[in-house]
Chain A
Amino acid sequence: MRNVAIVGAGMTPFGEHFALGLKDLLPMAFADCAASVDKGIDKHDLQAAWFGAMATTDGFPSGNLADTLGLPELPVTRVENSCATGNDAVRNALFGVASGAFDIALVMGADKLRDTTSKDMLWEWEAMARDMAWDYPLGVVSPAGFALHVSRYLHESPATREHMAMVAVKNHHHGINNPKARLRFEITVEQALAAPTVVTPFGLYDCAPQSDGAAALVIAAEDVVDRFTDRPVWIRGVGLGLDSVMHQHKRDLTTFPATIRAAKQAFTMAGMTPRDVDVAEVHDFFTGIELISYEDLGFAERFGAYKLIEAEVTSVGGSLPVNPSGGLKAKGHPPGATGVAQCVELFQQLRGEAVNQVDGARIALAHNIGGPTAVSAVTILEGPGANGS
Chain B
Amino acid sequence: MPNVAAIGTYLPCWGIPARRVVGDDEDAITMAVEAGRAALQSGAGVERVVLVSRNLPLLESSNAAVLLAGLGLDPELEVDERLGGAPATLDAVSSARPRTLIIGADLEPAGAAALLTAEDGLRVRTAARVARSLPVRTRNATGTVHDYGDPRLLHERGLIASLAAAWLDTPAAVAGVDHDSANDLCVGNPPRLPTTGASSSLFALAGMAEAGTTGPLVAVEQASLSGITVSHGTASVHRREPASREMPAGGYADGAQIPISLAAYERAFEAKTRWEAGKFAGSDELDFPPRYRVSNDGDLATLYDLVPLPRVGTVYTETTVHMPVPGLRTPYSLVLVELDDVEVRALVKVTGAEPGSVAIGDRGRLTLRRVAVRSGVPDYSYMFEPESVTSSSGPGTGFAA
Query: Contact residue range for chain B?
Result: 35 or more
| Known contacts A123-B259, A247-B347, A137 near B323 by CB under 8 Å | no
A137, A147, A198: residue with the most chain B Cβ atoms closer than 10 Å: A137
The closest CB in chain B to the CB of A117 belongs to B255
Taking CB atoms, residues of chain A closer than 8 Å to B328 are 139
The smallest C-beta distance from A155 to any residue of chain B, in angstroms, reads 5
The closest CB in chain A to the CB of B269 belongs to A133
10 pairs, A vs B, C-beta closer than 8 Å: A119-B326, A139-B325, A141-B323, A144-B321, A152-B317, A247-B336, A247-B345, A247-B347, A248-B345, A248-B346
What are the interface flags for A224-257 relative to B under an 8 Å C-beta threshold, 1 for contact and 0 otherwise? 0000000000000000000000111100010000
Taking CB atoms, residues of chain B closer than 8 Å to A147 are 319
Q: How far is the CA of A127 from the CA of B267 in the complex (A)?
A: 17
- Would you call A148 an interface residue if the criterion is a C-beta within 8 Å of the partner chain's C-beta atoms? yes
Q: How far is the CA of A132 from the CA of B269 in the complex (A)?
A: 12
- Would you call B360 an interface residue if the criterion is a C-beta within 8 Å of the partner chain's C-beta atoms? yes
> Could you tell me if A123 and B327 are in contact, using CB atoms closer than 8 angstroms?
yes
> Could you tell me if A138 and B334 are in contact, using CB atoms closer than 8 angstroms?
yes
Q: How far is the CA of A200 from the CA of B289 in the complex (A)?
A: 27
| Known contacts A133-B265, A151-B360, A198-B322, A123 near B258 by CB under 8 Å | yes
- Would you call A120 an interface residue if the criterion is a C-beta within 8 Å of the partner chain's C-beta atoms? yes
The smallest C-beta distance from B336 to any residue of chain A, in angstroms, reads 6
Closest 4 pairs between A and B when the two form their complex, measured CB to CB? A133-B268, A147-B319, A152-B317, A137-B372
> Could you tell me if B318 and A148 are in contact, using CB atoms closer than 8 angstroms?
yes
Q: How far is the CA of A147 from the CA of B322 in the complex (A)?
A: 12
What are the interface flags for B243-254 relative to A under an 8 Å C-beta threshold, 1 for contact and 0 otherwise? 000000000010
B328, B334, B336, B346: residue with the most chain A Cβ atoms closer than 10 Å: B334
The closest CB in chain B to the CB of A152 belongs to B317
Contact partner, B261, options A122, A133, A248, A253, Cβ 8 Å:
A133
Taking CB atoms, residues of chain B closer than 8 Å to A253 are 316-317, 336
B288, B318, B372: residue with the most chain A Cβ atoms closer than 10 Å: B318
Contact partner, B347, options A119, A199, A246, Cβ 8 Å:
A246
- Would you call B215 an interface residue if the criterion is a C-beta within 8 Å of the partner chain's C-beta atoms? no
- Would you call A197 an interface residue if the criterion is a C-beta within 8 Å of the partner chain's C-beta atoms? yes
- Which residues of B are interface residues toward A (Cβ below 8 A)? 253, 255-256, 258-261, 264-265, 267-268, 272, 288-289, 316-323, 325-328, 332, 334, 336, 344-349, 356, 360, 371-372, 374, 379, 381
> Could you tell me if A120 and B256 are in contact, using CB atoms closer than 8 angstroms?
yes
- Would you call A134 an interface residue if the criterion is a C-beta within 8 Å of the partner chain's C-beta atoms? yes
Total A-B pairs in contact (CB under 8 Å)? Answer: 110
Taking CB atoms, residues of chain A closer than 8 Å to B255 are 119
> Could you tell me if B322 and A138 are in contact, using CB atoms closer than 8 angstroms?
no
Taking CB atoms, residues of chain A closer than 8 Å to B260 are 132, 137
Contact partner, A133, options B267, B321, B356, Cβ 8 Å:
B267
> Could you tell me if A148 and B346 are in contact, using CB atoms closer than 8 angstroms?
no
Tell me whether chain B's interface is mostly helix, strand or loop, or mixed: mixed
Residues of A within 8 Å of B, CB-based: how many?
Answer: 35
The closest CB in chain A to the CB of B327 belongs to A123
Q: How far is the CA of A148 from the CA of B258 in the complex (A)?
A: 22
Taking CB atoms, residues of chain B closer than 8 Å to A143 are 321, 323
List A residues 104-142 near B (Cβ within 8 Å). 119-120, 122-123, 127, 131-141
- Would you call A196 an interface residue if the criterion is a C-beta within 8 Å of the partner chain's C-beta atoms? yes
The closest CB in chain B to the CB of A140 belongs to B334
Taking CB atoms, residues of chain A closer than 8 Å to B379 are 137
> Could you tell me if A122 and B319 are in contact, using CB atoms closer than 8 angstroms?
no
Q: How far is the CA of A133 from the CA of B259 in the complex (A)?
A: 11
Q: How far is the CA of A187 from the CA of B321 in the complex (A)?
A: 24
> Could you tell me if A134 and B322 are in contact, using CB atoms closer than 8 angstroms?
no
List A residues 157-181 near B (Cβ within 8 Å). none
The closest CB in chain A to the CB of B355 belongs to A200
| Known contacts A132-B261, A134-B289, A151-B360, A199 near B317 by CB under 8 Å | no
